[in-house]
Structure 1
Amino acid sequence: MSYFVVGYYALLIGLSCLAAYYKQRTPFMLLFSLTLASFIMGIIGGVSALWTVTLAAGALALAAGTSYAFREFLVIILPRETAKEIKTAPLTASFGMFVIFTYAIAGIFAPIIAPHGESQVIASAFAPPDETMLLGADQLGRDMFSRIIFGARNSVGLALIATLLAFFMGAIGGLFAATKGGWFDQLLGRIADVIMSVPSLIFALLILSIFGTNLAVIVVVVAVIYSPRVFRLSRAVAGNVVVMDYIEAAKLRGEGTWYLIRREILPNSTAPLIAEFGLEFCFVFLLIAGLSFLGLGIQPPTADWGSMVRENATLISFGDMTPLIPAAAIALLTVSVNFVVDWMLYRSSGLKE
């Protein structure tokens, strides 16, 4: 038995006993469960399985430490009222905010951060990593790391624009429908039902094959596909607000529809709409990445994570995990946004009380 195995189990058992002695129930259950799982994994997979558990635990510890430090940083720099809310955020939400912040910095300062140009050919096809290329080259000899950095600007930026347009269309339509009611409400509701009845990917492929893959067409198509989701949520939220007494009082004062929406309904519907914005961004981001993977999204030579997975997929046959890096970037951002959205939904639901 190696010194690593002895030290591994001794450390886990020692930490478990320490947590039990100080009556820390949650850390004890976590550590002792990990100890039992490690016994089983060690018997089945040997030392390599224990190394895998160690690396995974180290990665989780690093993520937790980074999340805690970033949360404290936000508490210091933000105004007092906002800092109080951030202080109550769980580490998962802090991790999500840190990842979103990192992606934003990468997208904004991509030309400065990337060591090479977005379409610059600097090596042979599928060249291995070296001191000038951290992740090697793609099928044309372009730096993968630089293209991933530029992909943060292109993929995330396009998804953000499409989400903003979808949210604007859906929210304005839902608020007006709830305020006006009658035939106007019924008409917009039936239009939303028709759009939602068509599978989003099939609808997008059909429209893009007809009108082309121009970026403006992609934004409009994606916005039309996902605006009915926002419409139905904003219609439902506003429907609970328009029946309140202060809305009736405003109507009796002679206030117009736009005043009611802007000053009375929207301020009381903000929390669920903000949370829905995060969810919509995830759906839009994944759809655009899927379209790019199929060749109908962002077109070459523009860097895009979806198309990068398709272009370098042949490397997986040779045991090279490089194509999984842009896929992991997509997954990491989606999970991080969901972490933040979950926290915002928790706050807006009143469960914190």
Structure 2
Amino acid sequence: MSVFVILYYTLLLGASCLAAYFNKRAAFLLLFSLTLVSFVLGIIGGVAALRIVAIAAGLLALSAMVAYAFREFLIVIASQNMAKELRTAPLTAAFGMFVIFTVAIAGIFAPFIAPFGEAQVISSAFAPADENMLLGADQLGRDMFSRLVYGARNTVALALMGTVLAFTLGALAGLLAATSGGWFDQVIARTSDVIMSIPSLIFALLMLSIFGGELANDTTSFYLLTGFAILTGLLVVSAVSERSVIGWLIGITVLVGVAVVFAGAMLIIFNPSEIILVLVVAVIYSPRVFRLTRAVAGNVVVMDYIEAAKLRGERTWYLIRREILPNSTAPLVAEFGLEFCFVFLLIAGLSFLGLGIQPPTADWGSMVRENATLISFGDITPLIPAAAIALLTVAVNFVVDWMLYRSSGLKV
């Protein structure tokens, strides 16, 4: 029996006994369960299996310590009310916030963090890691670590923008449909049913095949962005103006100007192929947001204070802005996090298929495809961007779970 095995079981059993002595029931069950699992795996897989269990347990312990420290840091810098909420956050939510914070810092400061450019060739193909390349090189000799950092900016930025557009269109339509009802509610609901009946990946492939290629240019992107902005803005104008002709004229005039500015700003930030990808994602997922918003707002619309506001003569926009939306915020914020996960995974999947973010732009999904050959040689390099995708998705879900728990009104 090796020294590692003796020390491993000694530490586990000693920690289990200390937890039992100090009446820490949860810690004792966790440690002794790990001891029993390690005993079985040690018999089956030997020392190698125990090393894997030790590494996994060490990573979990390290993650728990990082999550605890980050939560305490947020409590210190937060306001009094926010600190009170953060104290109730489980370690899983704190770990999720830490991962989101890390990805955000990597994306924002990518040019300063990455040692090389995202498309800069600095070595031979599939060169191993050395003092200059932390993760080695890809199939063209580009630094994997630098592309991973830039991928955080590109992939997450597109997913976030697609989620914002989908959520803006779907939430506005859902709030207006729940408040107005009638033919408008039926038309929007049936349209969303048609879009949702088509599988997301198939619909995305169809739209990208239509608007990709030669149509992926500045002119097409500008018109598509303007049309999307006008469609979304018409929902606001209809809620604000209602039957006022002058209100409609003023609203449409302002709307056209805002739509043109929005389209121009988006063309500065993203290239045409990325804009088409974002718009396709927004169209695919806005019906999901619409259904949830309509259901949540429908439960609020029937409340007595809404009827009282109607009897006072309040308009639709006032009801949405001051009465319905504040009472629907918690589930909508949680839904935003879930939608981001869906959009993020769809964009990564499309990039893996070669229809998402186009090279040489760094993207986590395309990085998996580009380096997949290394898996045949036992190299785990392609699994690194895949692990980044999985880690961010799990982290966002951790935070969303906590927010859903808080919004449900349950108490620990």
TM-score by length of 1: 0.99
Aligned length in residues: 353
Q: Compute the displacement of 1:263 (Å).
A: 0.6
Q: Which amino acid aligns with 1:32?
A: F
- The 2-side partners of 1:315 and 1:21 are apart by 50
Which of residues 247, 267, 279 in structure 1 aligns to 2:306? 247
- The 2-side partners of 1:69 and 1:85 are apart by 16
Which of residues 379, 384, 388 in structure 2 aligns to 1:329? 388
- The 2-side partners of 1:53 and 1:292 are apart by 34
- The 2-side partners of 1:125 and 1:31 are apart by 45
Q: Deviations over 1:263-312 (max 9, x none)?
A: 11000000000000000000000000000000100000000000111111
- The 2-side partners of 1:315 and 1:271 are apart by 44
Most deviating of 3-12 and 221-230: 3-12
- The 1-side partners of 2:122 and 2:35 are apart by 48
Q: Deviations over 1:183-208 (max 9, x none)?
A: 11111100010000000000000110
Q: How does 1:113-124 map to 2 (within 5 A)?
A: 113-124=113-124
- The 2-side partners of 1:153 and 1:28 are apart by 42
* Aligned residue in 1 for 2:282: 223
* Aligned residue in 1 for 2:353: 294
* Aligned residue in 2 for 1:261: 320
- The 2-side partners of 1:351 and 1:262 are apart by 27
* Aligned residue in 2 for 1:20: 20
* Aligned residue in 1 for 2:129: 129
Q: Which amino acid aligns with 2:340?
A: F
* Aligned residue in 1 for 2:160: 160
* Aligned residue in 2 for 1:318: 377
- The 2-side partners of 1:335 and 1:74 are apart by 20
Q: Compute the displacement of 1:67 (Å).
A: 0.1
Q: Which amino acid aligns with 1:9?
A: Y
* Aligned residue in 2 for 1:44: 44
* Aligned residue in 1 for 2:331: 272
- The 1-side partners of 2:288 and 2:61 are apart by 37
Q: Which amino acid aligns with 1:62?
A: L
SS at 1:299 equivalent: coil
Q: Compute the displacement of 1:182 (Å).
A: 0.9
Most deviating of 84-93 and 250-259: 250-259
Q: Compute the displacement of 1:69 (Å).
A: 0.2
Q: Compute the displacement of 1:252 (Å).
A: 1.2
Which of residues 336, 340, 347 in structure 1 aligns to 2:399? 340
Instruction: Provide runs of 4+ in structure 1 moved above 3 Å.
Output: none
- The 2-side partners of 1:252 and 1:179 are apart by 14
Which structure exhibits the higher relative contact order, with contacts defined as CA atoms closer than 8 Å and separated by 6 or more residues? 2
Q: Which amino acid aligns with 1:283?
A: F
* Aligned residue in 1 for 2:195: 195
* Aligned residue in 1 for 2:242: none
Q: Compute the displacement of 1:338 (Å).
A: 0.2
Q: Which amino acid aligns with 1:132?
A: N
Q: Compute the displacement of 1:49 (Å).
A: 1.0
Q: Compute the displacement of 1:24 (Å).
A: 1.3
Q: Compute the displacement of 1:210 (Å).
A: 0.8
Q: How does 1:79-90 map to 2 (within 5 A)?
A: 79-90=79-90
Question: Is 2:62 aligned against 1:62?
Answer: yes
Identity %: 78
* Aligned residue in 1 for 2:221: none
SS at 1:46 equivalent: helix
TM-score by length of 2: 0.85
Q: Compute the displacement of 1:53 (Å).
A: 1.0
* Aligned residue in 2 for 1:176: 176
Q: Compute the displacement of 1:351 (Å).
A: 1.1
Q: Which amino acid aligns with 2:331?
A: P
Q: Which amino acid aligns with 1:86?
A: L
Q: Which amino acid aligns with 2:144?
A: M
- The 2-side partners of 1:66 and 1:292 are apart by 32
Q: Which amino acid aligns with 1:260?
A: L
Q: Deviations over 1:66-96 (max 9, x none)?
A: 0000000000001110011011100000000
Q: Compute the displacement of 1:138 (Å).
A: 0.6
Root mean square deviation, CA, Å: 0.8
Q: Compute the displacement of 1:14 (Å).
A: 1.4
Mind listing any 5+ residue stretches in structure 1 that lack a counterpart?
Answer: none
